[in-house]
Amino acid sequence: MSADHAHRLKIRVYFEDTDAGGVVYHANYLRWAERARTEALRDMGVPHSDMQRLHGCFMVVRRVTVEYARPARLDDEVTVVTRIRRASASLLLSQEVMRGEEGLALLEVTLACVDVASLAPRRLPEPWLGELRARIVPPETSSLGGTAP
């Protein structure tokens, strides 16, 4: 996480990410966002594996919305910027896929914590909840125009 509490993950666009025209297939933005969320937690010192091993729970996607603005293309280097917007009973994140300063896609992701055995919803354990709350970033203007979630 950076000083502004945003996590940044750089990703190179490979041939496997694109369609025949060299444009990134839309579902790959979701894969990249998942990877960026996992790395953000790891960088905070609260990896998914510890949550499962120590507390018997894990995070699942409850809701995701994506606004696509511009395509990423073969060989582009993109950055997924992850910001925590709310940490309570659920976790709200905004994730922006950028090429330099240009916004390509904006995702709003709601995560819920569930029990490993029953898959029933449960409260996020400490230190995860405290670490997440300490890194909340208020909404701001996104590079796509408008307010980022």
Q: What is the mean pLDDT of each run of 10 residues along the chain (149 residues)?
A: 80 96 96 96 88 93 97 98 92 96 97 95 89 84 55
pLDDT of 3 reads 54
pLDDT of 48 reads 86
pLDDT of 147 reads 55
Catalytic residue among 4, 19, 75, 115: 19
Extract the tokens encoding 12.
Answer: 């190179």
Helix, strand or coil, per DSSP, at residue 140: coil
> What are the CA-CA distances from residue 132 to residues 5, 8, 124, 128 (Å)?
10, 16, 10, 6
Sheet containing 102-115: order of strands? 7-12, 77-87, 90-99, 102-115, 57-68
Relative to beta strand 102-115, strand 57-68 is antiparallel
pLDDT of 139 reads 74
Whether residue 19 lies in the annotated active site: yes
pLDDT of 32 reads 98
Domain limits, the chain: 7-133
pLDDT of 83 reads 96
* Angle at the Cα of 92 from the Cα atoms of 115 and 54, rounded to 5 degrees: 30
pLDDT of 45 reads 84
| Torsional class of 55: left (φ above 0), alpha (ψ -120 to 50), beta (otherwise) | alpha
* Angle at the Cα of 9 from the Cα atoms of 68 and 102, rounded to 5 degrees: 40
pLDDT of 44 reads 85
pLDDT of 138 reads 79
pLDDT of 89 reads 81
pLDDT of 144 reads 59
pLDDT of 126 reads 87
Extract the tokens encoding 95.
Answer: 């994730």
Report pTM: 0.88
CATH 3.10.129.10 applies to domain 7-133: yes
CA-CA distance, 70 to 91, in Å (whole number)? 27
pLDDT of 120 reads 95
Extract the tokens encoding 134.
Answer: 């300490």
CA-CA distance, 91 to 62, in Å (whole number)? 10
